Amino acid sequence: DTAVSQTPKYLVTQMGNDKSIKCEQNLGHDTMYWYKQDSKKFLKIMFSYNNKELIINETVPNRFSPKSPDKAHLNLHINSLELGDSAVYFCASSQVEASPLHFGNGTRLTVT
Amino acid sequence: AQSVTQPDIHITVSEGASLELRCNYSYGATPYLFWYVQSPGQGLQLLLKYFSGDTLVQGIKGFEAEFKRSQSSFNLRKPSVHWSDAAEYFCAVGAGDDKIIFGKGTRLHILP
């Protein structure tokens, strides 16, 4: 029974397109996150939502827009995709402040 | 702001040998500290965590880590590695603001 699931696993698209990545957690956690992992494996936090409310918004281009319809879901929509957006995007969840993160298996986004 | 340094990008050890992966953090108060492991194509899995109390923490898969406040370190150890331990290892620090910051990772290679 997958705890944090994200879809799709792979996403290949052309520059300028708009795409979405979906994430769902069945752990009952209050906080969900999006992390970006670049080609050098560096993990950088992008957004954090607590109970549907945005609480962390790092310096991410406003082409990236997270949406949390309920506390079990956090989707990421990306407009006008650029080559530099190619990365693996991880969704994660945690119970409360700084408690361990539970990660999804990632979405590998390739922009051509 | 908190930060994490993993000074070794790659580490190679022989199967059966002992392992120590280094992690140094920067944070003004007592941090929450984590080690995660990432196998190829997978999300990150929590190995162990330190919040308070005993400075030597035990984790899954035979790993342990020791928090040393005087050295701002949280090194990961295993007495005898197995070929299946080959992966990317991430040290992370949390500061109670729902933001967990990751180091750049150490890739562990195992020689047969």
C-alpha span between B20 and B7 (Å, rounded): 12
At residue B56, does pLDDT exceed 70?
A: yes
Q: Cβ distance B3 to B92 under 8 Å?
A: no
pLDDT of residue B88: 96
Side-chain-side CA neighbours of residue A76 (13 Å): 32
Among candidate residues B19, B26, B20, the one with its CA nearest the CA of residue B5: B26
What pLDDT score does A96 carry? Answer: 74
Phi, psi of B4 (to 5 degrees): -135, 135
Whether the CA torsion B47, B53, B56, B58 is positive or negative: it is: negative
Q: What is the mean pLDDT of chain A?
A: 91
Contact A50 B98 (CB under 8 A): yes
- pLDDT for A1 beyond 70: no
Residue A98 has pLDDT above 80, yes or no: no
Q: Please tell me the distance from the alpha carbon of residue B66 to that of residue B51, in angstroms, as a whole number.
A: 12
With contacts defined as CB-CB under 8 Å, which chain B residues touch A27? none
Q: Which residues of B touch A7 (CB under 8 A)?
A: none
Indicate the average pLDDT of chain B.
92
Amino acid at A74: L
Percent above pLDDT 90 for chain B: 77
CA distance to partner chain B, nearest, from residue A84 (Å) = 19
Tokens of B34: 């984590």
A42 to chain B: nearest residue by CA? B104
Residue with the larger pLDDT of the pair B101 and B1 = B101
- Chain B positions in Cβ-Cβ contact with residue A5 (cut-off 8 Å): none
